[in-house]
Amino acid sequence: MKLMDGRRSLSPNHGADLSTYLPPPQLLHGLMAARISLNRRKIVVLGSRSVGKSSLIKQLVDHRFSESYYPTTSMTSHKTITLNGVEYPCEIIDTAGQDEYSQLPPQYAIGIHGYVLVYSITSKTSFDMVRTIYDKILDFCGLPPGSVPAVIVGSKADLVMRWVVRGLSRLALLVYGLTLSCFLFFPTLPHSNRSRKVSSTDGQTLADETQCAWTEASAMVHGDIVKVFELCLEEIERRLVPPRSPGLPPPDRPNNCVLM
């Protein structure tokens, strides 16, 4: 039927082709692309030399672990991570090892959404470097403490378990007394914390002081690494979406600011 002004009515009995009233495919694709663009996140992985930064990224992206060590200059990987049902296309930047005299390159601060700060639980020096790197980010960006979305990661957690397994194996031989030669191992039984130089308490304390997330992980375990980057995304989203006052409706869209 037609209305008085000549427009067509969409009454149920009209049988009109509703596809003529839908947005064109180009517009739908554009809207989807815009949504994906809003969810893009740029994450930088920083830490001392030989703490396993590249191994973490390789496990996340390729599901592989390699014990070979090759010094990294800078490399970018891409991985889509799902958090709370939302897909985040992530650009993950691997970096060269930092030391106390290294300057923070601008590309590791401008346009970055979050950081993964890595230390080895077998190296107190690398642990101390995390605080130094964190302070460098604050100084470069001119931000107050607690404003940088970051997760602190104690890597090489599997090394402690290796010492535990070896220790238990040797201890079992001693207990059963299968052979006198077993007692030769007794003086050298490794303590479960022989290779650990940074305790879990130290890691959590640093995280509390810097208001970062914290976890320990092994680059040999894929689930550990997924958790690392999920924590990083949670820290990013927590700071992008400002807290709401009670009774106010949620904002239409997050405040997508990045570190400058």
The residue assigned the tokens 């601008």 is 106
Residue range 196-241, pLDDT digits in tens = 999 999 999 999 999 999 999 999 999 999 999 999 999 999 988 7
**Neighbour-count burial of 4, counting CB atoms closer than 10 A to its CB (0-12 exposed, 13-18 middle, 19+ buried):** exposed
Q: How far is CA 217 from CA 93, 109, 114, 159, in A?
A: 19, 25, 18, 11
Handedness of CA 85, 45, 121, 149 (dihedral sign): negative
What integer best gives the mean pLDDT of the chain?
78
Residue 93's beta-bridge partner residues? 44, 76
Rounded to whole angstroms, the Cα distance separating 124 from 151 reads 18
State the helix-helix crossing angle for 200-210 and 124-141, rounded to 10 degrees: 10
Residue 101 confidence class, pLDDT cut points 50, 70, 90: confident
**Who wins on pLDDT, 149 or 29?**
149
| DSSP SS3 for 248 | coil
What confidence category does residue 189 fall into, taking pLDDT thresholds of 50, 70 and 90? very low
Domain regions of the chain by residue span: 37-157+197-240
Q: Is the pLDDT of residue 165 over 60?
A: no
Predicted pLDDT of residue 219: 93
- Please give the CATH number for the structural domain made up of 37-157+197-240: 3.40.50.300
- pLDDT for 154: 97
118 near 93, Cβ under 8 Å?
Answer: no
Mean pLDDT of 150-156: 97
Check whether 168 has a pLDDT greater than 70.
Answer: no
Q: What is the pTM of this model?
A: 0.71
